[in-house]
Structure 1
Amino acid sequence: MLAAARTWEKPVWQRNFGVSPRQMEALGDAVEELLDGGRSLSRAELAEALVARPGFGELRDQLTSGWGTVLKPLAWTGRLCHGPGEGGRTTFVSPRSYVPGWKGVPEPEAAAQVAIPAYLRAHDPATAEAFDAWLIRGMTRKADLRARFASLGGRLAEVEVDGEHAYVLAEDAEAVARVRPSKEVRLLAAFDQYVLGPGTADARVIAAGRRKAVSRTAGWIAPVVVHRGRVAGVWDLTDEGTVDVQLFEESPEVPRDALESELAHLAACTGRVRGLSVRAV
């Protein structure tokens, strides 16, 4: 479904990243050759091997970028995937030689039968637009998006949430209707799917005026404090091991004992936590 949008063929993508569709196709061919036979290369090794080839020297900056933007379409089209880790290094391999029984990237219609229910299982009720924003920043053609949701037929049920039409898995509809508001407090890590699933623009999760506190420059999604299902603040772990909790002043009071309980869980996971600091922002 990611490949179906063909984002790398859009003028805005080419302006931002400076790689033409012809170059992307040539890069894909070269990557398949370099990774053939089960070969594994780190990002730096792959970039160096590519820029050493005629026609790719000008793409060094794009290929060595930490964002890996130029490599993403190659992953979406099944020409490379992550391989075994080597210490702190990410490696890339060919799925043809690395994934048992690899049959290639499925057609979008077949992928929708898996991806949409999986998303709704975690995040329903949700709109088709929310799914598309999570998947590929809303780049799917609207007609295609509607058709893929419609293709699931009776597996989905339409519901209304605060006046907005949304979907749930039909088999989950009764369970979703029985859910009651939570009073729990959670310290969630950066880039947690509780935030990314609905998206930082969903004001039911993050107040519109606090979006920039969570979605920061250079694409960073901050660790968040969740209380009663909504983002009530953000937090950081300092070099000294203190969890610095910054609660939004307009949020309902977050119980200190609940934060301390989460602190104990975080300490057990990281082995680095030494204390708790709480302040309003």
Structure 2
Amino acid sequence: MDAGGAVRVSWDQVFAWRMRRQFVLPRGDVDAVGVAERLCGVQAQVTSAAETAVALRCTAGETGSVVRALADRKLVKTWAMRGTLHALTPELGVAALSLMGSARTWEKPAWTRAAGATPEDVAALVKAVGEILDGTVLTREELVAAIVAEPRFHPLEAHLRSGWGSMLKPLAWQGALCHGPAQGNRVTFANPAHLIPEWPGIPDPDDAAAVLIPAYLGVYGPATPDIFDTWLTRNFLRKATVRRWFSNLGDRLTEVEVEGRSGFILTEHADELAATKPVASVNLLGPFDQYVLGPGTGDTALLPAEHRSKVSRAAGWISPLVLVNGRIAGTWESSGEGLAVSMFDGVPAPMAKLKREAQHVARALGQAGLTVTSG
């Protein structure tokens, strides 16, 4: 903090603070629920990626913990941030759904043209699906069959059967459905109010923002309203609305300057961030990891622009990460008993540290060990 009272920190301090807050360094004595709560959910579009993200953050983590938490109904799996599947705690889940729903993307002409469904169709679907899933769990095929039994929904059948779930996402954001217990490789759907004990229901967006923004800043700060909205909706919300939500938090937020860039952090964390010392570290994180998804792959302080395509790849794939001092410095891939590391800019791979990290990756993947190579 400088003489004028402003909080000024370096990116090295920010990354050290984020790693600690995100159970990257050190790993935490937590379970899947604790990790999902801290990270504002873990992306679960690929289940194995969610399992890896959790296991690598737990001192004794192993694969399968996310699936168990979902089966125990301590986490809910649904389409949330950026329209992608996440495993979330119910409290943060309903907050995210409320804010996603407040964007009303299904009322935009572009969505109507692509989906072939009007806002009135979506409203009717919310009501119909709520009744269909009243106390039952159905596979996608069973749910779609029940929906299109109503003649007015016949034109929507192809979109309802799409594996991308575009037609179902607005229903999830309004609390009409979520993913249910898996039946082998088949996806099921349920009403979250029936699936999750003490489901709190979808709150008012202003109330939801007062929950989700502090949770986000508590692990991905310092950040701006625009960065938060990029993480949440890919900037579909009105900028004035998001700025108002930040403003409503008042003195709960403190502005921070990081090497010329301004953002907000929770006031309760400001002194802790200012006192954080940079760390010399090497860490491995898996694909689709929240460490990069939280601030976004466009954050050039975290991920150099010239290397973004190596992390954010075709078809939405997000590569496994090599972190050096908290910055993304390479990627890795595993195959069989091997782990191949590709460092950026021809920087020599820190093999001794990578081999230690590979032991944790092996544990997270349920393997006895991995041999590290550098390409």
What's the counterpart of residue 338 of structure 2?
242
CA contact under 8 A between 2:180 and 2:189: conserved in structure 1?
yes
State the shift of 1:181 in Å: 2.4
Which secondary structure does the structure 2 equivalent of 1:2 belong to? helix
**1:258 and 2:353 equivalent?**
yes
Query: What amino acid maps onto 2:226 in structure 1?
Result: E
Match 2:282 to one of 185, 192, 196: 185
State the shift of 1:199 in Å: 0.3
**1:278 and 2:374 equivalent?**
yes
C-alpha distance 103-187 of structure 1, shift in aligned 2 (>3 A): closer
C-alpha distance 103-256 of structure 1, shift in aligned 2 (>3 A): closer
- Which structure has more relative contact order (CA 8 Å, sep 6+)? It is 2
Q: Quick one: percent identity of the two aligned structures?
A: 47
Superposed CA RMSD in Å reads 1.8
Structure 1: distance between partners of 2:256 and 2:100? 27
What's the counterpart of residue 79 of structure 1?
176
CA contact under 8 A between 2:322 and 2:329: conserved in structure 1?
yes
Structure 2: distance between partners of 1:175 and 1:247? 31
Structure 2: distance between partners of 1:176 and 1:78? 36
Query: What amino acid maps onto 1:248 in structure 2?
Result: F
Structure 1: distance between partners of 2:337 and 2:236? 41
Partner deviation per Cα, 1:202-260 (whole Å, 9 max, x = no partner)? 1111111111111122221111111121111111222x33212121125x544111111
Structure 2: distance between partners of 1:19 and 1:223? 37
Which secondary structure does the structure 1 equivalent of 2:345 belong to? coil
State the shift of 1:116 in Å: 0.5
Which secondary structure does the structure 2 equivalent of 1:209 belong to? helix
Match 1:134 to one of 213, 231, 235: 231
Partner deviation per Cα, 1:54-105 (whole Å, 9 max, x = no partner)? 1333323322222212211111111112223333433221123233344531
Please give the residue correspondences for 1:69-148 in structure 2 after superposition, counting only pairs within 5 Å: 69-148=166-245
Structure 2: distance between partners of 1:223 and 1:171? 32
Structure 2: distance between partners of 1:150 and 1:56? 42
Query: What amino acid maps onto 2:359 in structure 1?
Result: A
CA contact under 8 A between 1:156 and 1:168: conserved in structure 2?
yes
Partner deviation per Cα, 1:91-130 (whole Å, 9 max, x = no partner)? 2211232333445310011001110010011111111111
Query: What amino acid maps onto 1:266 in structure 2?
Result: V
Which secondary structure does the structure 2 equivalent of 1:226 belong to? strand
Structure 2: distance between partners of 1:148 and 1:175? 24
CA contact under 8 A between 2:126 and 2:176: conserved in structure 1?
yes
State the shift of 1:162 in Å: 2.3
Structure 2: distance between partners of 1:45 and 1:244? 43
What's the counterpart of residue 293 of structure 2?
196
C-alpha distance 208-73 of structure 1, shift in aligned 2 (>3 A): same
Q: Which runs of 5+ in 1 are unaligned?
A: none
Please give the residue correspondences for 1:153-192 in structure 2 after superposition, counting only pairs within 5 Å: 153-192=250-289
What's the counterpart of residue 63 of structure 2?
none
CA contact under 8 A between 1:181 and 1:229: conserved in structure 2?
no
> How many residue pairs were aligned?
276
TM-score (norm 2): 0.69
What's the counterpart of residue 324 of structure 2?
227
Structure 2: distance between partners of 1:186 and 1:5? 36
Query: What amino acid maps onto 1:261 in structure 2?
Result: R
Q: Which moved more, 1:70-79 or 1:14-23?
A: 14-23
What's the counterpart of residue 40 of structure 1?
137
Which secondary structure does the structure 2 equivalent of 1:56 belong to? helix
C-alpha distance 102-269 of structure 1, shift in aligned 2 (>3 A): closer
CA contact under 8 A between 1:185 and 1:254: conserved in structure 2?
no
What's the counterpart of residue 5 of structure 1?
103
C-alpha distance 244-47 of structure 1, shift in aligned 2 (>3 A): farther
What's the counterpart of residue 22 of structure 1?
120
C-alpha distance 104-196 of structure 1, shift in aligned 2 (>3 A): same
TM-score (norm 1): 0.91
